[in-house]
Amino acid sequence: MDKRKILSTIEVKYNDKAVKVNLYYSPCKRIIFRFSYGELEIYYHTIIGQEKLKNYCIEFLKKNKNFFLNRPYYKEGLYIFVRGKKKYLTTDIHLKNNQTFFYYPKNSIDPIKQYKRDFLEYATIKIKEYSKKMNIDISDYKIRTILSLSYYGCFMKKDRQIKFDYRLFAFKDEIMDSVFYHELAHYFEPKHNDRFYTIVQLYCPDYFKYHFYLTHGYFQGDLDVYEKSINN
């Protein structure tokens, strides 16, 4: 559940485009910018005026030109990204197996519930496959989905749990896989040090490329790199 307190949404003009920015309340007086799954977010204290915020946004965007902006992973009532593909929402059971659509049951008010179930099924299969490949026994681990503001996944060796942000399901398989390998590597090394990244890259040689896609909202991976290049 998303417990953040959204204040409002503003539009900032940048490079002749209107960039949508979600504003969230933060008790901290410092302004925090976050780019999350295709959307720009600002966490701030309400004593700061919106015009000043817009100026800060423009400065931020000038310094961070590689983000894929204005394309959230999910648009209510319209579409959702699934494994790097944009799919239109439907409750029509006849379209359940149509790759253009994301089907969720009519009696389900929120398509995200089905999205979480589908991601958990996918992640469980992949984690079992990759743990076997890495010679790791996680038979007593529980795999869970969460909505996280600070990480994509979390390996909890002591609690025998592996958690993943369900929004990862928006990305292409190889980008998701890089996160799965990342978390499984924590079985051997809890810290993000040279040894840890050596283990990750042993199983995912293009890890840092996929990490860039992940942090910049490139759901479609290389295809988004091409689209960015022709639009800039």
Q: Where are the domains of the chain?
A: 6-63, 74-103, 113-226
Beta 142-146 vs 161-165: how paired, if at all? parallel
Per-residue pLDDT, 3: 64
pLDDT in tens, 54-71: 898 999 888 888 888 889
Per-residue pLDDT, 213: 96
- Out of 1.10.530.10, 1.10.1660.10, 3.30.2010.10, 3.40.50.20, the CATH code matching 113-226 is 3.30.2010.10
pLDDT in tens, 149-201: 889 999 999 999 999 999 999 999 999 999 999 999 999 999 999 999 999 99
Nearest-angstrom CA–CA distance, 31 and 212: 23
Tally of CB atoms within 10 A around 2: 7
The whole-angstrom distance between residue 13's C-alpha and the CA centroid of its chain comes to 25
pLDDT in tens, 80-129: 999 999 999 999 999 999 999 999 998 888 899 999 999 999 999 999 99
With b meaning 16 or more CB within 10 Å and e meaning fewer, what string describes 61-94?
beeeeebbbebbbbeeeebbbbbbebbebbeeee
Per-residue pLDDT, 161: 97
Checking if the pLDDT of 10 tops 60, the result is yes
96: part of which helix (H) or strand (E)? none
Residues in the chain: 232
